[in-house]
Chain A
Amino acid sequence: MKSLSEIYLLLEELVSFDAKLQALKSYFEQTAAEDLLWSISLLLNKSNARIITITKLKDWALAHAKIPEWLYNQCHPLVKDQSETLALLLPNTDSSIGKTLSAWMLDIEHHKKLNLSKQETFVVNAWKILNSNERILFNKLITGNLRFSLSQQLILHALHLVFNKPIHCLAHRLITDFDAFDKSFRDWLNQPSRKDIDSKPYPFVPIKKLSSDVFNIGEARHWLGIYGYDGISVQWIKRNEQVFIWNDKMELISLLFPELTKPELCAVDKVVLQGTIILMKDDQMMDQNFLTSRVKRKNISKKLLLDFPAKMIINEVLEYNGEDISERSWNTQRNYLEQLYPHLDNHVFLQSNTILSDHWESFTSARKEARNVNASHLVLKNKVKTKDKTNWLWALDPLTVYATLIYVESSIDRRNISSLTFGVWDNKKLIPICKVENTLSKNFETELQIWLKKNTIEKFGPVKSVQPFFVFEISFESITENKRKKSGISLKSAKLGKYLKEMKAENAHTISILKEIQQKHIK
């Protein structure tokens, strides 16, 4: 309990991935084998140790600490966390006994079914041997309020560093429900598993953003272009009648897409496909927001599966009939893919459009057409497999709109401007469409701050609303519908463009222009 409470508080203080990884690594190193499985299960928010409500816990704590309710009500708003307030109010203990986490978890499980007075005795006795940090964790644990906000990836990496097991082997162990009660960590880690071999993905080929001119990467005839979509880049694996789906962060995401994990989708066994998962509705591709909301869900309802089924656009075949063809030339791969297509369920698997040409011009015109097929970028792959296997992401030319500055937000220390909000006209009123990061030059920013002194309309904390005067070009990748926004739309990766000195605020763009752009790109 002690080390878990320490890591809980420490992780709250840390920000960077590396710092958290180091902290978790040393935590796993120091944790006894018997507690490891419990720790992992708690870190992943998988254990339910709730035995009572926080209200009941409060009654017990106040009675034990002899604190009247009104005094608690004075304290709680300052702490803003009930479990912590109670932990602080309880009398301090000097010693904390070294009871292991697994012993605690067994005790808690045991008391789940007992009557209230026995539970109270257990909880009050626990408080007597826990220090105030441990009490925070304990209170959260037994009221079901303990949440770690860690990515699976972080935990996987930390376990990988400590126990030296391949990440993909650890990953499917993490997502399958493991029962910490009747399994030891060693068994869990070393369980002989067919899945370790069956689920193994190929390394994901890195993809880099093309920043220079396309001609610099070589001759067009050595390359092929594939439309890229806003979806999840995955490897789809079927081996021994079992399907595994990995995303490019090496997370096993099979459970999120039940419609894609049926073995009968592919009649051939031992196949690995690479591609992108997207959601469709009546042959129309949904934007990424739908996918994000699917991923966040714990249970995927039947309705969701029917309304927005997931499909996969295949780009490559990496394994066919158990044969590794990931290193083979593009032509060979293409042949395998052609052989494979008749055996695939064509309701779920879609073919990607490839662009092949000896001239870059054809690529350029394909790129211009990309938005009409709902693609968000073009991926360039080297046809001849060389040592350098990098793929290039060729972004589309951004869309632009002339928008008026309406809000300016200062940084926390109030010295700099951190972000700017822009709006477009809608019936003589400006409605916000996007908030962009401040990328103004230092001089311009200073000028703007001087201008702000006279032209601020209202202040809302760090945010100032300003007179409509500055018109900027705002570039963005795409428009999606967003009913939560006043404007009804949101702009994807909006960036600050150039300042349009000549343009007066009243001549800037209106919402109808954005709506037109949106209509144009939805088929």
Chain B
Amino acid sequence: MELLSNTKNGLYCEVADVYIDPWRKVDKALITHGHSDHARPGHKHYMCHVNCVPILKLRIGKKINVRGFNFGESIHINEVRFSFHPAGHVIGSAQIRVEYKGEVWVVTGDYKLENDQVCTPFESIKCHTLITESTFGLPIYKWATQDTIIQQINQWWAQNKADHKISVIYAYSLGKAQRILKHLSHDIGNIYADNSIYNTNNALIQHGLYKRACQTLNPESKDLDGALVLSPQSSSALNNISKHHPMSTAMASGWMATRNKRRNRLIDKGFVLSDHADWDGLLEAVRSSEAERVIVTHGYQSAFARYLSELGLRAETYDTAFKGEPSLS
């Protein structure tokens, strides 16, 4: 019997009777982070990192039964020792370490290696078996540094401002929105955010997890000329504004790495900015974990696993109910 197994409800630890990021309703769920493909509604007990608690309450409901733990703090359930460790994905994101009778497994959840200066940076955990994501598990995905991309965004915004256009960036409300907002130049113009981003930011600010505030976008918003708007998706508010103001739209996502994807979206510009590890990042994470066995999930699992096994590692795959990044909602 394996310490963790892939069941129809999700990743399961039978000894402790606990699930990790389950996608069906269960009794006890350990949650790696607040994105909707990992934190599902309906579980009886939620356990996550302390910083993730306000996010779960905002996204799933105020009344959920949730306990937060610090990084490295041990949780003992039926002789199994669980602990959370930084994953560097978004605020409140964690890897989960599972130890039982000297055997150590690590579930990475979603992660990136670059320090984005918004959330606690990724820490490599030594283990026997590593369960890693592989959203961008192909060698065509290689990220430039955050500074480079932010510089590109600033340039684009300044140019749009000079052309009297509103700059709209489509970005996830949890993660990329905070990252872009924090690092963008303050001097170019006004910054507005869609309601969902505004609410997420407010919840984070209230709990002292994030600092930079911005204005919410509504039909009465003024001084839009040359402003920048962050929004998870095209909205009716944006549509109304676009009728009166010229607009340039962009998307910040790892998928923007290929011209094909940029063309398929109805956007003017694509910025290659991701909260996931790129190809080299994934390989680096596998290498530094010193795991003997790697299980690949969430993404291009079969390609990445085959590549690892050709490198001489024991690699296999788990299928998940969710593929790739969550939809932009």
Chain A contacts to B: CB under 8 angstroms: 9, 12-13, 65, 67-68, 70-71, 74-75, 78-81, 84-85, 88-89, 92, 132, 412-413
Contact = CB atoms under 8 A, between A and B. Distances in A.
Nearest to A412: B266
Contacts of A88: 139-142, 257-258
A89 B266 contact: no
Given A78-B258, A81-B259, A88-B258, A13 B139 contact: no
Interface in B254-274: 257-263, 266, 268-269
A68 B310 contact: yes
A81 B260 contact: yes
Given A13-B268, A13-B269, A71-B303, A78 B140 contact: yes
Interface string B220-258: 000000000000001000000000000000000000011
21 contacts: A9-B259, A12-B259, A13-B268, A68-B310, A71-B303, A71-B307, A75-B138, A75-B140, A78-B260, A78-B261, A79-B140, A79-B259, A84-B258, A84-B259, A85-B140, A88-B140, A88-B142, A88-B257, A89-B140, A92-B142, A412-B266
B306 A80 contact: no
Nearest to B306: A70
Closest 4 CB pairs of A and B: A88-B140, A74-B303, A80-B260, A75-B140
A92 B139 CA distance: 11
A74 B138 contact: yes
B138 to A, nearest CB: 5
B210 interface: no
Contacts of A13: 262, 268-269
A149 B8 CA distance: 51
Contacts of B139: 65, 67, 71, 75, 88-89
A70 B306 CA distance: 10
B100 interface: no
A70 B266 CA distance: 32
A84 B263 CA distance: 14
Contacts of A79: 140, 258-260
Nearest to A87: B140
Interface of B: 138-142, 234, 257-263, 266, 268-269, 300, 303, 306-307, 310
B153 to A, nearest CB: 15
B310 to A, nearest CB: 7
Nearest to B141: A88
Contacts of B268: 13
Contacts of B300: 74
A78 B262 CA distance: 12
A369 B34 CA distance: 74
A80 B257 CA distance: 13
Contacts of B259: 9, 12, 79, 81, 84
A67 B263 CA distance: 26
A75 B258 CA distance: 11
Nearest to B269: A13
Given A13-B269, A89-B139, A132-B142, 7 more contacts: A13-B262, A68-B310, A71-B138, A71-B139, A79-B259, A80-B258, A88-B258
Contacts of B142: 88, 92, 132
Contacts of A89: 139-140
Nearest to A73: B303
B238 to A, nearest CB: 12
Contacts of B307: 68, 71
A81 B266 CA distance: 20
A80 B280 CA distance: 22
B147 to A, nearest CB: 13
Contacts of A9: 259
A380 B260 CA distance: 49
Contacts of A68: 307, 310
A12 B268 CA distance: 10
A70 B139 CA distance: 12
A362 B201 CA distance: 75
A65 B310 CA distance: 15
A405 B140 CA distance: 46
A465 B263 CA distance: 28
Among A70, A88, A132, chain B packs the most CB atoms within 10 A around the CB of: A88
A272 B138 CA distance: 63
Contacts of B306: 70-71
Contacts of A65: 139
A65 B260 CA distance: 22
A84 B141 CA distance: 12
Among A13, A67, A412, chain B packs the most CB atoms within 10 A around the CB of: A13
B211 to A, nearest CB: 32
A78 B269 contact: no
B115 to A, nearest CB: 19
A13 B138 CA distance: 25
Contacts of B269: 13
Contacts of A85: 140
A202 to B, nearest CB: 37
Contacts of B303: 71, 74
A412 B263 CA distance: 13
B263 to A, nearest CB: 7
Nearest to A78: B258
Contacts of A71: 138-139, 303, 306-307
Nearest to B300: A74
B72 to A, nearest CB: 34
Among B138, B140, B303, chain A packs the most CB atoms within 10 A around the CB of: B140
Contacts of A74: 138, 300, 303
A83 to B, nearest CB: 10
Contacts of A92: 142
A80 B310 CA distance: 26
Contacts of A81: 259-260
Nearest to A92: B142
